[in-house]
Chain A
């Protein structure tokens, strides 16, 4: 009987200790792809989250390789391995829905981050509203040219959610300046080299007529700057804007060549991770990232919100040095 008791006690001890080891929360992050700077900052921010550093959370980042099917398979893996929560930045608004469904069926909370997905099953979403950035960047260009003159727009890949929303924002700002004419409006697929070629050709087709360049991301705005320089024109006589706040663009802002609207990858990532832990622990959690104190406009609200909108920050001569210091 005594031996029995000991056996039982040790078994209980074993069980509890293994249960304690299991308390380490397993969270998977599924970004659409890790080739570009923005998502690298995003992924690095996850690793720097206090809960990951302290070992409270075991984090795995899956590279979606810009393929909706790859992401779907990664969700299957996470479901089979019983992850406690998933952070999802889908490549496609609609194709991501099936992946969210599969996790939801298995009772795993999914937190959206950065890119949107058409699904009601998303627990929460932390991102920035692209229509706002589209409006903000177009406004800086239009303000600089005094609401009159001619502009060109360099668009993202047509049909991508960021392109659609940023264009909507661009158009909203343009509607406020009816005297401004959009001379050209084409996609350069987020690419600096493609934008450079387009801008070279536009400068030829509209000599001395282009006053402003609205680039829907920084890469394309930078391509336009190179084309202007190559044509022997003065970059500072153009109003040029981009979105994202990538490092090269920060340097260009510092040089007075363009303006950029910073999308805070770090806040989107760490905010989503706090929400993922919160939901994995069924509400028994206080957010640990400092982003909640940085952005007063985005309150934590006990983790109950469906959508957390990370504010955009215009990059200016005043804050550019501080931002550059964070990029090493």
Chain B
């Protein structure tokens, strides 16, 4: 089949090229259209301050969604991230609070220790889920549903159900500081994104993740250690959830036991909108980042226009389903 024949049938691009174009840039185009519409309809949308706000408001969900991408690429799911956000947030906060009563004895400790502890808590939660999924073949949905409940319970036990306030300014910097005007959480999101992109696109481990998600059986027969890959993706997701928990408490200035409820849903939504398939093996972390940005931009834009948050929820729902419909069409239809 020559390209010329195809042009006649399908228009200015070959069907294969057009398919690739939609696949590669469809979500990016949707994002640009959304930005364009909001820029025209609200004078404040495209100001430096607001762009910084949107990025800031996207940072926590962005970090969670990137972790979620690793898991979903292997055909898994991590429902526990919202609870891990709360647990890591409150445990790390108890090390860096200047409150005399809410912290552990000797607090505040240096920021690095607090962050290290928070990361460890997240990694530990991820490791437990990863172990159960990979070694004991318990479905990821069930395992992480259990972790969702257990981590929330541990959060309430650890803090006695009370918030941990008065976090030290040094710790709060990761949520409220900036470098040359760029908010610290945005820089952190950029770093997390860059490293994840590199892992998924430039390393053998990344290729194995796609292989395991695409066809576990084939991956196993070609000598890939599936168990190890599955374990590590949950550790990544848990660790990033731990980090997101610290970003959240640093931003709000207080670690709350009710923090992060239903955050897993926004993270999954960003992954799905970004074009990663829930059946594994297909997807890009760039898409996830744009998916998270679309959710952030939409919420921000509707707030600026004074539209009730209930409409935001309806639109988000439509967006999730619409993105997957597009995904189905480009995979099987047209």
CB distance from A202 to the nearest CB of B (A): 7
| SS class, residues of chain A in contact with chain B | helix
| A197 and B47 within 8 A (CB) | no
Interface string of A104-135 (1 = CB under 8 A from B): 00000000000000000000000000000000
B57 touching A197, Cβ below 8 Å: yes
Of A32-40, A73-81, A164-172, A303-311, which binds chain B? A32-40
Listed residue (B57, B256, B299, B300) with the most chain A CB atoms within 10 angstroms of its CB: B256
The segment out of B62-70, B210-218, B245-253, B274-282 that lies at the interface is B245-253
For the A-B complex, the count of residue pairs with Cβ-Cβ distances under 8 Å equals 77
Asked if B101 CB lies within 8 Å of chain A CBs, one says yes
Contact: B303 with A198, CB < 8 Å?
yes
**CB <8 Å contact, A200 and B57:** yes
A328 to B57, CA, bound (A): 33
A-B contact pairs, 8 of them (CB 8 A): A193-B252, A197-B299, A201-B303, A205-B303, A205-B305, A222-B252, A222-B254, A251-B166
Q: Give bound CA distance, A223 to B44, whole Å.
A: 22
CA distance A184 to B257 in the complex (A): 28
User: A34 vs B157: C-alpha distance in the bound complex, in angstroms?
Assistant: 12
Select one of A184, A192, A205, A207 contacting B256, CB under 8 A: A192
The B-contacting residues of A in range 35-55, CB under 8 angstroms, are 35-37, 40
Q: In the complex, which residues 241-256 of chain A have their Cβ closer than 8 Å to any Cβ of chain B?
A: 247-248, 251
The answer for the CA separation of A251 and B42 in the assembled complex, in Å, is: 37
How many angstroms between the C-alpha atoms of A200 and B296 in the bound complex? 13
Chain A 171-205 interface 0/1 with B at a Cβ cutoff of 8 Å (1 = within):
00000000000001011000111001110111011
A230 interface residue (CB < 8 Å to B): yes
A251 to B161 CA separation, bound complex (whole angstroms): 19
Q: Which residues of A contact B (CB under 8 A)?
A: 34-37, 40, 184, 186-187, 191-193, 196-198, 200-202, 204-205, 207, 219, 222-223, 226, 229-231, 247-248, 251, 328
> Is the pair B306, A184 in contact by a Cβ cutoff of 8 Å?
yes
Q: Which residue of B lies closest to A34 (CB)?
A: B161
A37/B254 in contact, CB under 8 A: no
Secondary structure at the B interface, as helix, strand, loop or mixed, is loop
Q: Given the known inter-chain contacts A200-B53, A201-B53, please indicate yes or no for A36 contacting B303, CB distance below 8 A.
A: no
Interface residues of B in 229-258 (CB under 8 A from A): 248, 251-254, 256-258
Contacts A40-B162, A328-B101 known; A196 to B257 CB distance under 8 Å?
no
Cross-chain contact of B50 among A191, A193, A204, A248 (Cβ < 8 A)? A204
| Complex alpha-carbon distance, A311 and B13, angstroms | 73
B42 to chain A, nearest CB (A): 8
Residue interface mask B139-177, A partner, CB < 8 A = 1: 000000000000000001000111101100000000010
